[in-house]
Structure 1
Amino acid sequence: MTRDPEIVANERPVGPVRVRPENPFTGPSLWLPLRYLITGQVSLLLAIALAVLRAEDLVDFYYQGHLLAITHLITLGWITTTIMGASFLVAPLIFSAPLYSERLGRWQFPLLAVGISVMVVHFWTGQYRGLAAGGILVLAATILFLVNVSLTLRRIPRKDVAVPYLMAALTYLAATVMLGNLMALDKVLGFLGGQVLATIKGHAHLAALGWVSLMILGVGHKMIPLLTASTIEEERRSRRRLWLLNAGIVGLFVGLVTRSRWVFPFGLVVVLGFASAFCRLARPWRQGKVPRLDWSTRHVLAAFGCLALAILFGLALASGLLGDDALASRVAIAYAFLGLVGWITLMIIGMSYRVIPLLVWLHRYSAIVHDEPVPKVSELC
């Protein structure tokens, strides 16, 4: 029977003793994911610096070059790049399936890094004619990523409840990047006409809800039991939540792009899906089994708190009750901030507190674990 590597690594009393894992680590070389994770952190720091430099833009209308540059530094440079790097670890680390091709991961990185850089520079300078070139590079990197991860997921048993979430997230990633490239071409050809703002809203929600949030929930099926000492959720309930979220995300996207009155109802459907996920997270507390509140768990709980606030702001925008355009624009920026920095960023940091020490432990000690005493994963933090 396959055992979780973190349980194996931590199942000893305090003090060095011999640990003999039943399954060797089959992950990629350490530098493959690290180049993505380091790039993601540099992008986040740069986005913070630019936000401080242009703080007045944060309370202005959101569709302007500086704010779009900062937003894409966060969404592409920080969030997407970090998730891509972490994805190369998820299969071997959590699902015990080796990565399909480390070479594809190496080829993908320069395309992604250069593409994001070109996009951010052209957003910042307002020279939109070069935006499509950066978008094409990001699209090429995304295709390599989708091929690599999809073929890796084929090695995981289909009965695993997390796999449908991950496959859905990859589908939304493909749709998000293709739509982004269409909008980049529109900067030159102007074929979207008066639908630019509506398309941007759909593009943003497709990325944040479809690509990122479903990836978080999919990986969370494996991570939440580690964070809260609870059991893995049953497949039927998990699949119902996925169907609910997919219906809400697709309906919300169509409603935003077409400016339909159905935006608010489909937004409520998405809220129900996230509420179900929160109930899953809170199950140990309801059962009286309070988990240890380490930094990882604190970040995850804070992320769900920010998600709740983002939902309130989002429903206020979708209801159409904010008649003042200036007020609605500021609420939209606060909504995006809570979603990207509050919900997604805190969740990534929370999971990183578990994944990165475990990654280092496996690369540093898996080769010598049979021969000499090794520390626990928690001792590396």
Structure 2
Amino acid sequence: MREKLPARILPLLYLGTAHIALALGCLLTAIWPQAVAGFFYHSWLIAIVHLVTLGWITFSILGAIFIVGPLALRMSMPARRPDYVAYAFAVIGLIGMVGHFWIQEYAGMAWSAATVTMGIVYMTIRIAAAARGAHIQPGVRLHITLACANLWLAASMGLAIAIDKVAHFLPGYILSNVFAHAHLAALGWATMMVMGVGYRLLPMTFPSKMPGGRTIYLSAILLETGVLGLFVSLLLRSAWAFAFGIISAGGLLAFGAHVVGMLRQPARAPDAASRFNFGLFHTVSAGVSLSVAIAIGLTLLVVPISARTLHAAAAYGVLGLVGFLAQMVVAMEARLLPMVTWSWAYAGSDYRVPPPSPHAMRDRLLQGIVLAGWTIAVPALTAGMYLESARLVSLGAWSLLVGVAIATTDNAFVVAYTLRANGRVSNEAA
């Protein structure tokens, strides 16, 4: 049984780094809201965006896959020595990217982008290879494989944009290149992976019956078709962008329909589970943000560029990246860490003493504060970016910082349970 146990140190390194990155992004935004509440294409805001997209979302996915692979995807993901090297490359590259963006030193930023790219590309190759042998629905496997392939394309495009800051070789309008890269990374990589993992993990979060059948393919095929078409059409500034935006939205709606189906087929909750499911509330909140982001995004594809549409684009980015993707990470983490902590603690007793239910490991008060922080932060940040209001941006950033700090504390308490449980077993054995 131990060979199937999720790795411990490496996923915690990734998840811990992710929390630090998001907290730093919130702190920088809270301290300098005037630098954020305005035109979004400048070095400081790009640094903060990468703390969210690379630091929080991508690092959380890479850390979670070591846990969710064995527990939910029937996928072997042991931590190997090259995986730690890849983590080091990713962390060093992230620090370098953010730091060089902050001081506007673009040659160093390009080298840092290459460093982080090597780390995350290696890890996604590992994930794609492991998914091939996983005993899961082929539709789920397709989501995971496509997400990894999209990451390779998005990382290549991002690296090209970074080098272009120094060498100036890319054709086309710079914002078109940036928008294309951002959508390929956010939709093609992060959203596709969240959907694929969500088909297995969300039923454990609610709880509900697992979806099955060929309909799972639909969200992957529609989203992939839409994302690739949107990527090319944004690069070329083509009128086809709206059509591919509709197709992408169709893929998201197909996934949303499956989530609604899960909620309509609830499974019996364990006795220790609270009636107030915080993971479910984060999921619903993320779904609302996604719905509004889809409406704004499709509108932006058909209206001419103006000062108001640029403000709307900033709000769209907040809803998509923070309101949806970043919050979906919180929703899944709420269930994932107690599950793996239970597994580690049980293994620590040589499978002799079953630990208490993972549903009883989290502090309900702390979870409530986290939910309140996110509930205040997302609307405040969205409105602040649209209205160019530094006060609203600051309110949202401080609220989110509180939510992140409390969530980190709660997670530390959950993981510490394993150490306490293993310590008790060692004392009893002595």
TM-score norm. by structure 2 comes to 0.79
State whether structure 2 residue 169 is matched by structure 1 residue 188: no
Counterpart residue number, 2:310: 329
Counterpart residue number, 1:65: 43
- Paired with 1:372 and 1:234, the residues of 2 have a C-alpha distance of 34
Deviation, 1:311, is 0.9
- Paired with 2:219 and 2:253, the residues of 1 have a C-alpha distance of 10
State whether structure 2 residue 349 is matched by structure 1 residue 368: yes
Conserved? CA contact 1:225–1:232, under 8 Å: yes
State whether structure 2 residue 180 is matched by structure 1 residue 224: no
State whether structure 2 residue 341 is matched by structure 1 residue 341: no
Conserved? CA contact 2:230–2:241, under 8 Å: yes
Deviation, 1:370, is 3.8
State whether structure 2 residue 285 is matched by structure 1 residue 302: yes
Deviations 1:65-91 (A, max 9, x none): 111111111111111111111112221
- Paired with 2:358 and 2:267, the residues of 1 have a C-alpha distance of 23
1:350-369 counterparts in 2 under 5 A? Answer: 350-368=331-349
Deviation, 1:262, is 1.0
Deviations 1:207-258 (A, max 9, x none): 1100000100000110122233332222311112211111111111111111
State whether structure 2 residue 295 is matched by structure 1 residue 312: yes
Deviations 1:135-183 (A, max 9, x none): 1111210232123222322321364431110000000111111111111
- Paired with 1:220 and 1:288, the residues of 2 have a C-alpha distance of 16
- Paired with 1:84 and 1:180, the residues of 2 have a C-alpha distance of 19
What SS is found at the alignment partner of 1:375? Answer: coil
Conserved? CA contact 1:284–1:290, under 8 Å: no
Conserved? CA contact 2:87–2:119, under 8 Å: yes
Counterpart residue number, 1:164: 142
Letter of the structure 2 residue corresponding to residue 205 of structure 1: H
Counterpart residue number, 1:16: none
Task: List gaps (5 residues or longer) in structure 1.
Answer: 1-22
Counterpart residue number, 1:4: none
Change (3 A) 1:52 1:244: same
Deviations 1:51-72 (A, max 9, x none): 1222123332111111111111
Counterpart residue number, 1:106: 84
Deviations 1:182-213 (A, max 9, x none): 11111111012442111100000001100000
- Paired with 2:204 and 2:15, the residues of 1 have a C-alpha distance of 22
| 158-167 or 124-133: bigger deviation | 158-167
State whether structure 2 residue 96 is matched by structure 1 residue 118: yes
Change (3 A) 1:117 1:288: closer
Conserved? CA contact 1:306–1:339, under 8 Å: yes
Task: List gaps (5 residues or longer) in structure 2.
Answer: 270-274, 363-430
Counterpart residue number, 2:224: 246
Letter of the structure 1 residue corresponding to residue 337 of structure 2: I
Counterpart residue number, 1:268: 246
- Paired with 1:232 and 1:174, the residues of 2 have a C-alpha distance of 30
State whether structure 2 residue 141 is matched by structure 1 residue 176: no
Conserved? CA contact 1:25–1:362, under 8 Å: no
Deviation, 1:289, is 8.0
Deviation, 1:259, is 0.3
Letter of the structure 1 residue corresponding to residue 328 of structure 2: M
Conserved? CA contact 2:76–2:134, under 8 Å: no
Aligned length: 357
Counterpart residue number, 1:5: none
Which of 123, 126, 142 is 1:148 aligned to? 126
Letter of the structure 1 residue corresponding to residue 280 of structure 2: T
Conserved? CA contact 2:172–2:235, under 8 Å: no
Change (3 A) 1:29 1:159: closer
Conserved? CA contact 2:10–2:79, under 8 Å: no
Deviation, 1:100, is 4.9
Deviation, 1:103, is 1.6
Query: Aligned-pair RMSD on alpha carbons?
Result: 2.0
- Paired with 1:135 and 1:258, the residues of 2 have a C-alpha distance of 24
- Paired with 1:133 and 1:190, the residues of 2 have a C-alpha distance of 15
- Paired with 2:342 and 2:267, the residues of 1 have a C-alpha distance of 28
The percentage of counterpart residues that share the same residue type is: 31
